[in-house]
Structure 1
């Protein structure tokens, strides 16, 4: 069974509120939609999935255009650790290697998604995937990749 967890961190409001995206707006030119569980490091997104699971896709755009967030870490997680404190720790630790900046710099804020593809009949020690996304610390759209 595939479960989804969306957690806003660093004092941010829920991601659905942060996106400010109009669900009826046309996607930007040169963009495409993708299931959020398929996001990869370096993907820049114009929107994020709503917390109510009413949409499972996001709009991926070229990082040179204005975007809401950028995927900077994708990591496996053990079933017993797919919780907020581990996700916060891992996403915070993964920011500096990708951007050269720490969360304390205030330049970025972080959010994450957890894809829990748990098959209780299989002996898979790492059934969940942590997907960490960075956003501008000031809440404005990003332009360009944050990758150093």
Structure 2
């Protein structure tokens, strides 16, 4: 406060000594209301997590293509708004004798249309699948296998959003 008064006094004295000087401009008051601004930030997408591929759920997005090596059990699941290589769009139970390519292709094909609104043959997405055969031959479970259908970009490139309609 003392420094400010000193400055005003000096300006007033210098202005008073100058011939034909105009009065000094008024300085803005520190009493003027300030304008509050708010900044909104988008929440950060959830961090990537590791999961067993047989535990994947519909809507999970994979950082990398699904594993083809049967010894690879874990995959990295990422938020679908970040670049990813595949998205789970269907989990369906399958009987032992029907968990084969033609039945899986029909099941996954219909699931793709239901999930995205696109037919398999329109070229919008490529599809693949994983089969979790959790068979226990001593039980009477008629559908011990689960097909996990995944979609990918047709050229194998990244997807940048969920394909769910």
Superposition TM-score tier, normalisation by shorter sequence:
0.7 to 0.9
The equivalent residue for 1:57 is 74
- Tell me the number of residue pairs that the alignment of Structure 1 and Structure 2 aligns: 120
Higher relative CO (Cα under 8 Å, sequence separation at least 6) belongs to 1
Which segments of 5 or more consecutive residues in structure 2 lack a partner in the other structure?
A: 1-45
The equivalent residue for 1:19 is none
Tell me the alpha carbon deviations over residues 4-36 of structure 1, each in whole angstroms, 9 at most, x when there is no partner.
Answer: xxxxxxxxxxxxxxxxxxxxxxxxx81000000
Q: Go from structure 1 to structure 2 and tell me whether the alpha carbon gap of 1:138 and 1:52 turns closer, same or farther (over 3 Å shift).
A: closer
Pair 1:37 & 2:54 matched: yes
Mapped partners of 1:31, 1:48: distance in 2: 15
Normalising by structure 1, we get a TM-score of 0.77
What displacement does 1:49 show? Answer: 4.7
SS at structure 2 position matched to 1:80? helix
The equivalent residue for 2:14 is none
Match of 1:94 among 108, 111, 117: 111
Name the structure where strand makes up a greater proportion of residues: 1
Q: Runs (4+) of structure 1 moved beyond 3 Å? A: none
The equivalent residue for 1:75 is 92
Mapped partners of 2:67, 2:150: distance in 1: 15
Alignment RMSD (CA, Å): 1.3
Tell me the alpha carbon deviations over residues 19-77 of structure 1, each in whole angstroms, 9 at most, x when there is no partner.
Answer: xxxxxxxxxx8100000000000000012453232320000000000000000000000
The equivalent residue for 2:130 is 113
Name the structure where helix makes up a greater proportion of residues: 2
